[in-house]
Structure 1
Amino acid sequence: MGHSQIIGGDLLDIALQRQQKYFAQNRYLEASARKQNLRQLLKLVVDNRDSICAALTKDFGCRDKQESLLIEVFPCQELIKHSIRHLSAWMKPKRKSVSLWFQPGRAKVMSQPLGTIGVITPWNYPLFLAIGPVAGALSAGNTTMVKMPEHTPVFSQLFADLVKEYFDPELLTVVNGDVEVGKAFTALPFDHLLFTGATQIGKHVMRTASENLTPVTLELGGKSPVIIGESFPSDAAIKSIINGKLINSGQTCIAPDYILLPQNEINTFTEQARKTAQQFYPDWQSRGYTSIISENHYQRLNNMLEDAKSKGAKLVPLFEGGSISEMKKIVPTIIIDATDDMAVLKEEIFGPLLPLVGYESFESGIEYINQRPKPLALYLFSHNKKEKDKILKNTLSGGVTINDTILHIAQDNLPFGGVGTSGMGHYHGEAGFRTFSKEKSIFIQSRFNGIPFLYPPYNKGIASWLLKFMLGPGK
């Protein structure tokens, strides 16, 4: 493309001004131009699959290429293709009905680009969680700046280089840097800012963005529960739960965080979980099973295990052999008899530790969920319609998958987002297009209309009579 790419903290203002200038000259890109931008984004991903996966493996220390293809590359491709297919329909103004009193006037809603969008990407899925918001922003016709995570330096630099190769920086710019760069990025006067990450950091992001009255979408985390119905055999849910928990070694914002199940099913669940985990990852020490991203996070998870053990919990490792410190691989562990004073039930785990909480009745399981902050995801395993209705009507969460885990995030027609401490706002597919657009209300007055009859003075003639007729009889 021939332009330099802005990377770093000192030139953030220049990068923003350059994008704002470009947007001022291209305030409404037609569908053909937006689709071309999306095709270029798709080409970036497809052309560079191997180098993307290799970079992710270097950053994590061990992450299987097939897993990166499955959980990052494939959903990125599908999301972009979905946006290209449906963009023209999303852009089409939506006709709205008009009250009898204002006919034959017409009304419609037009989606208009906001301007320059800021995206702050986390380290756990740095490709997918960058591409998703970028696709939404480009679909809506905006320019976009992306702050990449410092915990994945190899991939973050690769992504910056690829964006430089495939896009003009006036349209899409990548910023790399440390925490201070991130703070400076958050303080920029974007037209919308999307942050994905921890709840505590999200509070700081929202506070800083408020100085510019920048609207924010916060994709946070929390403790996403799984509840297994009273008559649903726990062994039938095991494979889905273990898969959802151990993908990316549990470093997933919507990973199952704890399991609610009938008290008498705990032993059966534990035995089956151990067999399933070993079937999924027979060579876990050398390949397949992802490492923890950093030494700090590795130690944090070990501290959680020690805390639970010291307070009386029973720890059941699912793999033979202990954790491998030099590879930052934590043995996935089931935690039985966890109590509310333990870190594993107080904090988001974000790793392969899985507390089991027995319930006496399905209703008490629902009560347990509702006594805690609203989760980003909730999972139910049940074939019972009454149980499904109770969960859907009596709990509030960002999203729900029934009889599986994780998969609601992969449905491009569904909005993705949290609620309460797990986030605010939505994106993905059309929801992303709407988030990064201004829904502009438009009323078009007819050449021949009755409004002049309502002009003042109101106490005389037709205006007085019409007003009484419009209001109707009083008491």
Structure 2
Amino acid sequence: MQQTPPSPLVDRFEAQRQAFGRQPFPTLAERRDRLQRLAALLDRHEAALVQAISADFSGRSPHETRLAEAFVVRAGLRHALRHLKGWMRERRVPTQLHFLPGRNRLLPQPLGVVGVVAPWNYPLQLSLGPALAALAAGNRVLIKPSELTPAFSALLERAVAEAFAPDEMSVVTGDASVGQAFSHLPFDHLFFTGSTPVGRLVAQAAAANLTPVTLELGGKSPAIIDSSADLDEAAQRIAYGKLLNAGQTCVAPDYVLVPTGQGEALARRIARAAERMYPTLRDNPDYTAIVSPRHHARLRDMVAEAAGLGATIVQVNPAHESLEQGTRKIAPTLVLNPPAGARLMREEIFGPVLPILEVPSLDAAIAHVQQGDRPLALYWFGRDTAHRDRVLHETISGGVTVNDCLWHLGQEHQPFGGVGASGMGAYHGEWGFNTFSKLKPVFHQSRWAGTALFRPPYGATFERLLGLLQRLG
């Protein structure tokens, strides 16, 4: 049975829909003004937003929030403001010879009201990143942030209300039931970032209204260490990519595949890299806590199960601190050769726990990736270009960074999105603008059009012309 959204939520949605009806094609100046107001909002409230996110996490690195969230949103805003005029322009499209002198054009048109369902792990970036793309495309935007970040969500709601009319952009807060009702609204496009299981439910809810969706999900993103890799370099970069936000990143390396005999050597190097970045853990503001007691318990249970199944567990705790009471921090944990049936090899980890698996060959590494769901990200380390190209061509993932982790996500000139179980659709830069637009094909007919020759009554002239067109093809 379809859930009926609560009346205040419906009222907010209907106000935006009516406002869009009154102004279905905002001008360049109007769109730029909205983006500039969003940039000013971020400037005005950044410090408070960073503090609110840290409070929600019970300890989130402010430097990581500023880099991975505020900076990324600002980069997207600058890029959109710089390129928006070109994105909005009616686009020339080639016209086949037999339709000349008519001409083809593509008109990027706003869709209407866009819904954004944001997760808890990067609540600022994943609320405002999709929103800025939707605003650039000329839409109205309704945002539902996660209930796991209540301090951030309340502040974002107030900040957006200061900068935007409710029928331009608005934030609705509430628990999971509000999120479910939100996804049942007949949006013109629904953008969801979160887990694959919840993404399936969101897609089902949207399908009832034939609402198109963009799903940014996750999965088990592998890092492949080639036999030609520099282990020291790979270890340092994997350690950073894994431990940013304590592993609570959709594109964090979820596990590592390393040539047989190199697992322990790689683990030692990753441990040393982690120790250099985080010489202490408990009171270190650079090292982020786990967002909730439930997620904390889930990670501990995963590690305990792997240990019980015979995997080697290496905890990186340089100061030998107790993390048992009064904190939700978990020490960086390396798990060597866990069995395939372990939970941490079946589920997305989303924490500072990194399995390291030894594989006998490149063929085995590729086969391991191919047999699972298609991941959101893949990382390859090495210098052998033939091996690199085999991995690029024989595996399918949302995106790839070669000889590092994470950084393909920050490219405004590249699309970001998943494939299969890791998502559908893409955004960032022009791809975000196009996602939230209808690229409407328009054919301009000439007064000198020859198409009248194809009207009835049919006869020899029709046959000669059709034959000519088929030969010109």
TM (norm. structure 2) is 0.96
For 2:25, the equivalent position in structure 1 comes to 28
For 1:420, the equivalent position in structure 2 comes to 420
- Listed one character per residue, the Cα deviations across residues 328-370 of structure 1 (whole Å, up to 9, x for unaligned) are 0011110012011101101000000000011111121111110
For 1:209, the equivalent position in structure 2 comes to 206
What is the aligned counterpart of 2:58 among 42, 61, 76?
61
Q: 3-state DSSP class of the match of 2:138?
A: coil
CA distance in 2, matches of 1:253, 1:336: 22
Q: Summarize the alignment of residues 87-236 of structure 1 with structure 2, pairs less than 5 Å apart.
A: 87-236=84-233
Q: 3-state DSSP class of the match of 1:89?
A: helix
Does residue 273 of structure 1 match 2:270? yes
Deviation at 1:468, TM superposition (A): 3.0
CA distance in 2, matches of 1:352, 1:16: 39
Q: Summarize the alignment of residues 394-409 of structure 1 with structure 2, pairs less than 5 Å apart.
A: 394-409=394-409
CA distance in 2, matches of 1:162, 1:216: 27
For 2:37, the equivalent position in structure 1 comes to 40
Deviation at 1:233, TM superposition (A): 2.2
For 1:344, the equivalent position in structure 2 comes to 344
Whether the aligned pair in 2 keeps the contact of 1:274 and 1:319 (CA below 8 Å) is: no
Whether the aligned pair in 2 keeps the contact of 1:277 and 1:319 (CA below 8 Å) is: no
Q: Which moved more, 1:136-145 or 1:360-369?
A: 360-369
Q: 3-state DSSP class of the match of 2:340?
A: coil
Whether the aligned pair in 1 keeps the contact of 2:196 and 2:421 (CA below 8 Å) is: yes
CA distance in 2, matches of 1:416, 1:471: 40
Letter in 2 for 1:383: R
What is the aligned counterpart of 1:283 among 280, 285, 288?
280
Whether the aligned pair in 1 keeps the contact of 2:299 and 2:351 (CA below 8 Å) is: yes
- Listed one character per residue, the Cα deviations across residues 261-288 of structure 1 (whole Å, up to 9, x for unaligned) are 1122112111111111111012321021
Whether the aligned pair in 2 keeps the contact of 1:220 and 1:418 (CA below 8 Å) is: yes
Deviation at 1:234, TM superposition (A): 1.5
Q: How many residue pairs get matched?
A: 465
TM (norm. structure 1) is 0.96
For 2:466, the equivalent position in structure 1 comes to 467
Q: Summarize the alignment of residues 382-393 of structure 1 with structure 2, pairs less than 5 Å apart.
A: 382-393=382-393
Letter in 1 for 2:346: K
For 1:5, the equivalent position in structure 2 comes to none
CA distance in 2, matches of 1:47, 1:355: 41
Q: Summarize the alignment of residues 312-327 of structure 1 with structure 2, pairs less than 5 Å apart.
A: 312-320=310-318, 321=320, 322-327=322-327
Q: 3-state DSSP class of the match of 2:262?
A: helix
Whether the aligned pair in 2 keeps the contact of 1:194 and 1:218 (CA below 8 Å) is: yes
For 1:3, the equivalent position in structure 2 comes to none
Deviation at 1:464, TM superposition (A): 3.3
Does residue 437 of structure 1 match 2:437? yes
Q: Identify unmatched segments of 5+ residues in structure 1.
A: 1-7
Whether the aligned pair in 2 keeps the contact of 1:416 and 1:428 (CA below 8 Å) is: yes
Q: Structure 1 residues 212, 219: closer, same or farther in 2, change over 3 A?
A: same
Q: Identify unmatched segments of 5+ residues in structure 2.
A: none
Deviation at 1:9, TM superposition (A): 4.6
Q: Percent identity?
A: 41
CA distance in 2, matches of 1:324, 1:439: 55
CA distance in 2, matches of 1:347, 1:296: 15
Q: 3-state DSSP class of the match of 1:326?
A: coil
For 2:302, the equivalent position in structure 1 comes to 304
Q: 3-state DSSP class of the match of 1:111?
A: strand
Whether the aligned pair in 1 keeps the contact of 2:61 and 2:245 (CA below 8 Å) is: no
Whether the aligned pair in 2 keeps the contact of 1:9 and 1:177 (CA below 8 Å) is: no
Deviation at 1:467, TM superposition (A): 2.2
Does residue 82 of structure 1 match 2:76? no
Letter in 2 for 1:360: P
For 2:373, the equivalent position in structure 1 comes to 373
Deviation at 1:230, TM superposition (A): 0.8
Letter in 2 for 1:270: A
CA distance in 1, matches of 2:324, 2:241: 22
Whether the aligned pair in 1 keeps the contact of 2:103 and 2:443 (CA below 8 Å) is: yes
What is the aligned counterpart of 2:258 among 257, 261, 275?
261
Deviation at 1:422, TM superposition (A): 0.4
